[in-house]
Amino acid sequence: MEEAVGLLGLYGPEAKILAGGQSLMPLLNMRLARPSVIVDINRIGEMDYIRPSDGGIAIGALTRERRVEDDPIVAERLPLLAALVKWIGHPQIRNRGTVCGSIAHGDPAAELPAAALALDAELAVVGKSGTRTLSPDDLYLGYLATSLAPDEIIREVRFPGLPANAGWSIQEVARRHGDFALVGVIAVLGLTEGRISEARLVCFGVGGRPVRFPEIEGQLVGSTPSEDLFSATARQVSASVDPDGDIHASAAYRKEVAGVLTRRALEQASERAKGGIQS
């Protein structure tokens, strides 16, 4: 790892890390990126791991997305994440693509950056000038722009576990299964004595980076789950997102779908929290 950081420091912005290559290689093949030095980190030992950490899990820089699907520690501590990675591309992509690579790349329609934001993940970053810890909120600046310096590598991502009373849901609309999301929503709801004690809501595919809604989350806390509440929240989310339109979907469509998926996500998360959905 020190050698990789050293090389990145030596060649500066001309150098790029190659992890799973499932985002970088297409860019190279299409000549959309033309770095003069590629630093392949695939042979760095002991970076392919999933470990328990403080009630949650820690995932190393070379852990492939596929491994998360049927890892026993993930299944026990954070089943949301096992379900989430199945939305990423296809098994053949997940066999190479890494969890940390997806988070570092930061595609606004990608699942893992949105999950990192929703789950308050911590990113352990190593660079020329030492190590630091970053939150996903501080990482994502805008479209494929992050606050990582050219010599910095995400060495590990740590996802805290969810409280036992929490339910979750992942909702996504894409043109075909395995495509990047047109719009996606991740919701987590904790219920205590019938009232919402914790709420997290993240929308992705609706702008330059995944978005979280702290104010809307705050309003949910203390309320009793109901159809009316979730419909009202859906309208709020729909009104506050500001997506771009492109060849795949118009901005108006994305706004509408963000609302619909928010309602479905809250309903499902609430059902799960009540124990109505297995796993």
Ligand X SMILES: Cc1cc2nc3c(=O)[nH]c(=O)nc-3n(C[C@H](O)[C@H](O)[C@H](O)COP(=O)(O)OP(=O)(O)OC[C@H]3O[C@@H](n4cnc5c(N)ncnc54)[C@H](O)[C@@H]3O)c2cc1C
Q: Which does 252 bind (CB under 5 to 8 A by kind): another protein, ligand X, none?
A: none
18 binds ligand X (CB under 6 A): yes
CB of 184 to another protein, least distance (A): 17
Instruction: Count CA within 13 A, CB hemisphere, residue 223.
Output: 18
Smaller CB separation from another protein, 42 or 236: 42
18 binds another protein (CB under 8 A): yes
Residue from 84, 100, 124, 170 in contact with ligand X (CB under 6 A): 100
Q: Which of 135, 51, 143, 48 is nearest to 96 (CA)?
A: 48
171 binds ligand X (CB under 6 A): no
22 binds another protein (CB under 8 A): yes
Q: Cβ contacts of residue 163 below 8 Å, gap of 6+?
A: 190, 198
The answer to whether the CB of 16 falls within 8 A of the CB of 37 is: yes
Q: Which strands sit side by side in the sheet containing 50-53, from one edge to the other?
A: 50-53, 56-60, 153-159, 122-127, 130-134
Q: Which does 11 bind (CB under 5 to 8 A by kind): ligand X, another protein, none?
A: another protein
With residue 194 as reference, give the H or E element that holds it: none
Smaller CB separation from another protein, 6 or 222: 6
Q: Which does 180 bind (CB under 5 to 8 A by kind): another protein, ligand X, none?
A: ligand X
220 binds ligand X (CB under 6 A): no
Smaller CB separation from another protein, 175 or 235: 175
Q: Which does 212 bind (CB under 5 to 8 A by kind): another protein, ligand X, none?
A: none
Burial status of residue 229 (CB atoms within 10 A of its CB: 0-12, 13-18, 19 or more): middle
Report in angstroms the alpha-carbon separations of 109 from 53, 55, 87, 262, 270. Answer: 28, 28, 11, 16, 24
Residue from 79, 160, 163, 178 in contact with another protein (CB under 8 A): 178
Residues lying near ligand X in the complex (CB under 6 A): 16-24, 26, 61, 88-89, 93, 97-98, 100-102, 104-105, 107, 110-112, 148, 153-154, 178-180
